[in-house]
Structure 1
Amino acid sequence: MMPLQSAAIPYRYDADGELEILLVTSRKKRRWVLPKGHVRPGMGAHSSAAKEAFEEGGVIGRTEIDPIANYVRKKRNACDEEAYCVTVHPMAVSTEAPVWPEMRQRERRWDTISDALFLVEQRGMRKAIEAFDRAFSPVCAQSAGRR
C-alpha cells in the first residue's frame, strides 16, 4: 500500500466575492504548493490536512472530510523514487494567524484560482485545484460579471 499524504486547499472569498486560495512555498525548492504532509497513524486525512494548513500556512478553518481530489505524487530521493497517494481537502478559512509554526521557513500568499494555476508546477496539485475550481467558484458571480 502506498504511503498516504493529505493536502488542504485553504480558501476564502474576498470583499468582491472573488474566490482565493492559499499557497505556501516548499521548504527546499521554494516552489508554490498547497499545504501538505504525511497522514499520521490514527489521524483522519482531513484532520491531517487541517494540521498542515496551520503549521505551513498559519490558517485555521473547517476542513471537508471528503476529498475534492486525489493524486499520486512521486518523490525522488538520493537512491530511489517513492510514490505517495495524496488526498486533497477544501478548507474554509476562518482565521489567519499572525504567527505560525513554519513562518520562518515558508512564505504564504492568497491567489485567485487562475494565478494559483500559473504558479503551481506539480501536475497532480494543479488538477486538484482545477477540480476545486469547478466545485467552488461562484457561478452566479461569474454570470453577473463580478469576476
Structure 2
Amino acid sequence: MAERGTVDPRELAVALRDAITRLNRRVRQARPVGDLTVAQLSALTSLELAGTLTPGELADQERVRPPTMTKIIARLAERDLVERRPHPTDGRQAIIAATAEGRAVYARFAQVRDEWLTGRLVELTEGERETLGAAAAILRRVARD
C-alpha cells in the first residue's frame, strides 16, 4: 500500500474487492447437496431478505433481464419454493414471495454457509475476530444504497 501511516483508497478498494470476491465465492461453494442453481438460490435469498418483490424488482435486484427472471421464478414455483400473489394496487402485476418450503430451503443453505464460515473464524485469534466484527459494521455502511 502507500507509505506507512496512510491508506491509498484505490489500493484499498482493489484489496477489499479481491478479498470480498474470494470470500463470497468460497461461501457460495459451501452448500448442501441439492439441485438449486446459483441463480435460483440468489433469487430465493433476495426474496427472503425483501419479503416480497414484483418480478421486475427481483430482476433488478438480481441484475438479470426480466425474461431470465421469469424462467427462474417458474423453476422455483415448480418446486413450490415461491408463490405468486396478486399485486394489491396493480392488477397487471404479481408479487413473488417465498413459501414456507422456500424459506426452509434458504435456511438450510444459510446454515451450511454459516457453519463453514464459523469453522474458519474459530481458527482466528480473538483480536482478529474483533477486527473482523468492526470491519463487518464498516462494510455494511459502505454497502448501503
Output the TM-score relative to the length of structure 1.
0.26
Higher relative contact order (CA 8 A, sep 6+): 1
Q: Which has the higher helix share?
A: 2
Q: Which has the higher strand share?
A: 1
